[in-house]
């Protein structure tokens, strides 16, 4: 379950940004997402979301997210920094501390040859009536494995169409939460600069992540996954605040892989 929710959290960067409208207007939106694994198997589903200053709620509509309980939904609080999985069937919920998980993973990584390259920055035309900026970046690094003669080379290409005239306050915090801290100040500075150029409301996104394993001078064929998302509808509409609150009487479950996570005030 934890792996599924982390994949959902990573993809939700687009959804949180979509939800953040000027003047904190209540928003209702739908996004079609496709996850393609290293074997080429694709899973497509539609997420429906509601956002107001109180938070964001996401539900899977068409399609199935593997491992995601039927009827469950996600609440995102603190502009996406707090993620809560609610399962009505079990009348329970789990708070997931993404930042702690990513810090733990990042503490094990020792990156070399880390780079952030801007590949494209151009007029993206209009999407849903909004002027868009089209950008593409490549992030790459190498990390040693347990065997000194083994290493992994990772390449991540991120392409996004951003409505730069619209505010998206949650996107910076969410993307920071979703990034694995590298411990390399220069690399972190480059990532921060990239995120700064992407400020706005993403309306379309594609992320390809691939890795190549090197063993004693020999490299395997690269393997990778791809995530795509596109906003299909976007409207300003009053959101019922009860949608964004934890249901009364639900019990809190222990987060997978650890003790009870911190409470949300």
What pLDDT is attached to residue 151?
81
Q: How far apart are CA 171 and CA 41, in angstroms?
A: 29
Sequence-ordered alpha helix ranges (H) in the chain: 2-19, 98-108, 169-178, 185-197
What pLDDT is attached to residue 259?
41
In terms of DSSP bridges, do strands 251-252 and 92-96 run parallel, antiparallel, or are they unpaired? parallel
Q: Which residues pair with 121 in a beta bridge?
A: 135
What pLDDT is attached to residue 201?
74
Q: How far apart are CA 75 and CA 87, in angstroms?
A: 11
Q: How far apart are CA 248 and CA 209, in angstroms?
A: 40
Q: How far apart are CA 99 and CA 37, in angstroms?
A: 24
63 backbone φψ class: left, alpha, beta (φ>0; ψ -120 to 50): left
What pLDDT is attached to residue 239?
86
What pLDDT is attached to residue 159?
93
Tally of CB atoms within 10 A around 53:
12
Sequence-ordered alpha helix ranges (H) in 1-127: 2-19, 98-108
Residue reference for tokens 């997931």: 96
Tell me phi and psi for residue 12, to 5 degrees.
Answer: -75, -5
Return averaged pLDDT per consecutive 10 residues of the chain, 265 residues in all: 47 50 65 87 86 82 73 79 86 76 58 88 91 92 78 88 67 41 70 79 86 78 83 85 90 64 36
What pLDDT is attached to residue 100?
57
Q: How far apart are CA 19 and CA 171, in angstroms?
A: 10
Q: How far apart are CA 196 and CA 159, in angstroms?
A: 15
């Amino acid at each position: 379950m934890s792996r599924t929710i982390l994949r959902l959290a990573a993809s939700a960067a687009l959804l949180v940004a979509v939800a953040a409208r000027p003047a904190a207007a209540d928003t209702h939106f739908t996004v079609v997402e496709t996850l393609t694994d290293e074997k080429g198997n694709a899973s497509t589903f539609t997420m429906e979301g509601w956002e107001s200053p109180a938070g964001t709620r996401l539900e899977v509509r068409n399609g199935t997210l593997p491992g995601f309980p039927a009827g469950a939904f996600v609440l995102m609080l603190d502009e996406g920094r707090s993620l809560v999985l609610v399962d009505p069937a079990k009348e329970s919920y789990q708070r997931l501390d993404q930042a702690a998980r990513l810090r733990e993973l990042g503490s094990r990584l020792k990156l070399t040859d880390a780079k952030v390259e801007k590949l494209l920055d151009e007029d993206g035309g209009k999407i849903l009536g909004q002027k868009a900026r089209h950008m593409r970046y490549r992030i790459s690094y190498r990390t040693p494995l347990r065997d000194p003669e083994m290493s992994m080379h990772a390449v991540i290409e991120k392409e996004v169409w951003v409505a730069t005239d619209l505010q998206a306050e949650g996107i910076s915090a969410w993307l920071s939460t979703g990034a694995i801290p590298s411990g390399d100040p220069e690399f972190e500075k480059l990532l921060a600069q990239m995120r700064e150029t992407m400020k706005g409301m993403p309306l379309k996104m594609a992320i390809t992540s691939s890795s190549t394993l090197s063993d004693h001078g020999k490299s395997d064929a690269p393997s990778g996954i791809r995530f795509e998302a596109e906003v299909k509808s976007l409207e300003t509409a009053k959101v019922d605040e009860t949608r964004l609150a934890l249901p009364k009487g639900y019990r809190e479950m222990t987060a997978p892989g650890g003790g009870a996570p911190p409470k949300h005030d």
